[in-house]
Amino acid sequence: MNITTTLVQAVADALGKLYGIEAAPESIVLQDTRKEFKGDYTLVVFPYVKQARKSPEAVANEIGEAVKGTTPMVAGFNVIKGFLNFEISDAYWTSFVAEKANDEDFGLTHPNADEAPVVVEYSSPNTNKPLHLGHIRNNLLGWSVSQLLAANGANVKKVNLVNDRGIHICKSMLAWLRYGNGETPESTGMKGDHLVGKYYVEFDKHYKAEIKQLMESGVEEEQAKKEAPLMVEAQSMLKRWEEGDKEVRDLWEKMNGWVYAGFDETYSRLGVGFDKIYYESNTYLLGKELVQKGLDMGVFYRRADGAVCCDLTGDGLDHKVLLRSDGTSVYMTQDLGTAQLRHNDFGAERLIYVVGNEQDYHFKVLKLILGKLGFEWADKVYHLSYGMVELPNGKMKSREGTVVDADDLIDEMERTAEEMSREHGKNDDLSPEEQHHLYHILALGALKYFILKVDPTKNMLFNPAESIDFNGNTGPFIQYTHARIRSIVRKAGESGGEETTGVQMNDKERMVVKALHAMPETIRQAAAAYSPAMVANYAYDLAKAFNSFYQDTPILKEADPKVKHFRVSLCTMVANALKNTMAILGIEVPERM
């Protein structure tokens, strides 16, 4: 039981004994005491004044006396009008540090493999282009949410649905056939995903030229987009693919193979991975079976042009197409099949989709249709909707070739990390191999932290230069703080955790200890909100509190052995806490720099 739980229960007991008020513990809210007042936790007593029939000050004093009498950790209290500020004893805080200092898993709960899993889907790339900055936010968020849930004891399965079929794939294939002259990753030295992406851009360039030509001959723009020869041929290729045409399928397998090899390299550099990968080319057939099931049940209907739809007007939406008039599937078709397959594979307790907020409507529809098909687990589908990520120069468009490729961004971040490290002299005593590793983890620490510290629901502007600063709310600042602490502990030649009875803490020490005490609850709340941002900002606040303590408080030069030992123990605990919180974000912290 943590300190706030103990205090809340003591307050509930006091309210019952003093005034006959039956207050459920969950209704009692404690806040951190404001810095200008003495105390650690504050209770606002105004909600109980009417029933107690006494002044706010009297109620606060009576509750304070009652709680102090029954709760040894409460050293004292003070009352400011209707605010009751509890002061926690140094003995409690120092014993907490002594007990937890060497717990390398502090704040974490080990996953329970016997529980029904939580399935988290993220990445979900198309095989017509390389991963870009938008994919980076998706991958980092999906990976981090998975780690966050696992840190709270969930049995998490990370999955990826590769969009490996559809009109966009056919565009790249057709452009390669028309304009590629047999280029391969080997012949060009390009990563396979970059090569295929090149021809996606090439298709768009020639397609726009055809549209322009048609419009100049008097065809309306919308009609020109449909009648352009390249688009007509791409649609024909998609139909041939679904019919199993060998020539089309062979080309599809070859070009997708190039892309998969490129994706794997990028995933490895980002430090993300999956327990299972699904492919739309497999799941769309199951989706078609579900569409037929819906027709048989009378849940869906066939339009006059042959398209199959679901009427969602009763749910405040519209008529959703599930199969096109030519029989080809749409995104919803395969998502229905994938959802059923995933539920069958895992018997999941939750199905979490990490997908941008432009797909809010899609997932609302998916959940509704699964429910109409009779799947009781439809209400377990959760769309973790996140905002878009942009660069200072605006939005990115894959088809126009204006994206920032993930590989190029990582390269740029590593170069910047090296420049900043050399400038600050952070690598002078490291071997060349250690330096290279340091640049890599600083680059990824900067990238991941800058993206994950933003609330997932918000749009964000990514600025590479700001992200890698060694000062301020950045990953490298926290990484450097961890390395500094490990250096202190190494020099001390001890790891802490021994007797600290009687140590009197100063205000800076107390601030650090209180921050550490809040870590398990912060991780719990972050998991409930699916928000790695809460963990990121906690890590920054802890690092800030430690640096403030470090600047004002002697550690290695402290004359009193017991006080010195307590401070070294505190350092050890902060280092473990930073390592664990940053690991949830997928960020490695260096031992030296």
Residue 110, domain member (yes or no)? no
The pLDDT value given to residue 55: 95
CATH code: domain of residue 199: 3.40.50.620
Together in a domain, 39 and 141: no
Q: Exposure of 191 by Cβ count < 10 A (0-12 exposed, 13-18 middle, 19+ buried)?
A: buried
Residue 590, domain member (yes or no)? no
Residue 95, domain member (yes or no)? no
pLDDT tens, the chain, 593 aa long? 578 899 999 999 999 999 999 999 989 999 999 989 999 999 999 999 999 999 999 999 999 999 999 999 999 999 999 999 999 999 999 999 999 998 999 999 999 888 999 999 999 999 999 998 889 999 999 999 999 999 999 999 999 999 998 899 999 999 999 999 999 999 999 999 999 999 999 999 999 999 999 999 999 999 999 999 999 999 999 999 989 999 999 999 999 999 999 999 999 999 999 999 999 888 888 899 999 999 999 999 999 999 999 999 999 999 999 999 988 888 899 899 999 999 999 998 899 999 999 999 999 999 999 999 999 999 999 999 999 887 776 444 444 445 678 898 898 889 888 888 887 776 667 788 888 889 999 999 999 999 999 999 999 988 877 887 778 899 999 999 999 999 999 999 864 445 667 889 999 999 999 999 999 999 999 999 999 999 999 999 999 999 999 999 999 999 999 999 999 999 999 999 999 999 999 999 999 88
Residue 104, domain member (yes or no)? no
Last residue of a domain, one of 88, 113, 137: 88
Together in a domain, 287 and 367: yes
CA–CA gap between residue 145 and residue 538 (Å, rounded): 15
Together in a domain, 21 and 168: no
Together in a domain, 306 and 339: yes
The pLDDT value given to residue 515: 96
What is the SS3 assignment for 587?
coil
CA nearest 456: which of 387, 526, 358?
387
Tell me if 105 sits within 8 A of 580, measured CB to CB. Answer: yes
Residue 278, domain member (yes or no)? yes
Last residue of a domain, one of 400, 422, 443: 400
Together in a domain, 430 and 375: no
Buried b (16+ CB within 10 A) or exposed e, 153-189: ebbbbbbbbbbbbbebbbbbbbbbeeebeeeebeeee
Beta-carbon neighbour count of residue 227 at 10 Å?
Answer: 14
Q: Exposure of 75 by Cβ count < 10 A (0-12 exposed, 13-18 middle, 19+ buried)?
A: middle
CA–CA gap between residue 455 and residue 533 (Å, rounded): 5
DSSP assignment of 105-138, as one string? TTT-B---TTSPPEEEE----BTTS--BHHHHHH
CATH code: domain of residue 42: 3.30.1360.70
DSSP assignment of 329-383, as one string? B-HHHHHHHHHHHHHHHH--SEEEEEEEGGGHHHHHHHHHHHHHTT-GGGGGEEE
Together in a domain, 362 and 231: yes
Beta-carbon neighbour count of residue 557 at 10 Å?
Answer: 6
Together in a domain, 31 and 131: no
Last residue of a domain, one of 37, 72, 88: 88
CA–CA gap between residue 496 and residue 513 (Å, rounded): 14
Sole residue written with tokens 């992406």: 197
- pTM, rounded to two decimals: 0.89
Q: List the Cα angle 464/467/469 in 5-degree steps.
A: 115
DSSP assignment of 131-190, as one string? -BHHHHHHHHHHHHHHHHHHHBT--EEEEEEEB--SHHHHHHHHHHHHH-TT--HHHH--
CA–CA gap between residue 115 and residue 153 (Å, rounded): 9
Name residue 332's amino acid: M
What residues contact 54, with CB distance under 8 A and at least 6 apart?
Answer: 62
Together in a domain, 199 and 330: yes
Residue 112, domain member (yes or no)? no
Residue 98, domain member (yes or no)? no
What is the SS3 assignment for 429?
coil
pLDDT tens, residue by residue, 387-415? 988 777 644 444 444 567 889 889 888 98
Together in a domain, 461 and 492: yes
Together in a domain, 534 and 490: yes
| Domains contained in the chain, number | 3
Together in a domain, 519 and 578: yes
Q: What is the CA radius of gyration of the chain?
A: 29
Together in a domain, 54 and 148: no
pLDDT tens, residue by residue, 157-203? 999 999 998 899 999 999 999 999 999 999 999 999 999 999 999 99
Q: And the tokens for 562?
A: 């017991």
CATH code: domain of residue 488: 1.10.730.10
Residue 114, domain member (yes or no)? no
- List C-alpha distances in Å: 540 to 451, 472, 474, 534, 593: 14, 9, 8, 10, 18
Range of the domain at 480: 410-584
Tell me if 543 sits within 8 A of 470, measured CB to CB. Answer: no
What residues contact 363, with CB distance under 8 A and at least 6 apart?
Answer: 353, 355, 381, 383, 385
